[in-house]
Amino acid sequence: MTGLIRRATLLTAAGLIAAGAASAGVPNAGTTTRPLSVILVPKDPTQPLAAAPALATFTVRDAGSSPVPNAVVVINGAGCTGTEIRLSSNQPHAGVFVNCAAKSVSAVTNASGIATFRLLGRVGTHPGFATGKVSGCASVTADGVALGAINMSVADQNGAGGCNAADGALFLLDRDQAASPKNQARSDFNGAAGVNAADGALFLILRDFSGVDVTEAADCP
């Protein structure tokens, strides 16, 4: 009997080791850290950027909380983009690739499991007081493993002239609308608690970007 128990214990231990080995290096949603929102900016991100909100950083980890290098992180904006929110077909930030047909962008994690996005885009048509796309409209995966939903917001809300006072007026329409919840993706810059004063503070930073404006010709179809 003792031999049988010992054998069963060894088999169980071997199974746990095998399971651990199988999960090593596989992205895990519970241990991975990600932002609540990714912001599309109207400026070429190869130019100096003064604002941290333009950076969306993902740290991909496995079930044991070890970083996963060389994982492909994909942000799928199909639920966000269209005539209102538009990705740019030109994404000049090193390591970021755009797939206009899939309405997605991707990047590969470094040795520390980190993938960083700086994304270009704008509003094609602003629907005024209409709710438009809903916060949390984008999905994220790493090596095909679902990491959850995030928001996709836009600094250039009228789609012309970069991010300026005219865009600020449109942001205020979203912030001050009577409808509840105020969950318009385009203006929910921090991806939390709808559109409010905290998003307004981020807008003021985004307004002061330096760099070259994206042209309308750069839109994904």
Q: What is the pTM of this model?
A: 0.85
Alpha carbon distance 71, 110 (integer Å): 8
* Three-state secondary structure string covering 85-104: EEEECCCCCCCCEEECCCCE
Alpha carbon distance 125, 137 (integer Å): 17
Alpha carbon distance 133, 84 (integer Å): 8
One pLDDT digit (tens) per residue for the chain, 221 residues = 555 454 444 444 444 444 444 456 999 999 999 999 999 988 776 666 555 677 899 999 999 999 999 999 999 999 998 888 899 998 888 899 999 999 999 999 999 999 999 899 988 887 776 778 888 999 999 999 999 999 999 999 988 888 889 999 999 988 887 666 578 899 999 998 889 999 999 998 888 776 666 655 688 98
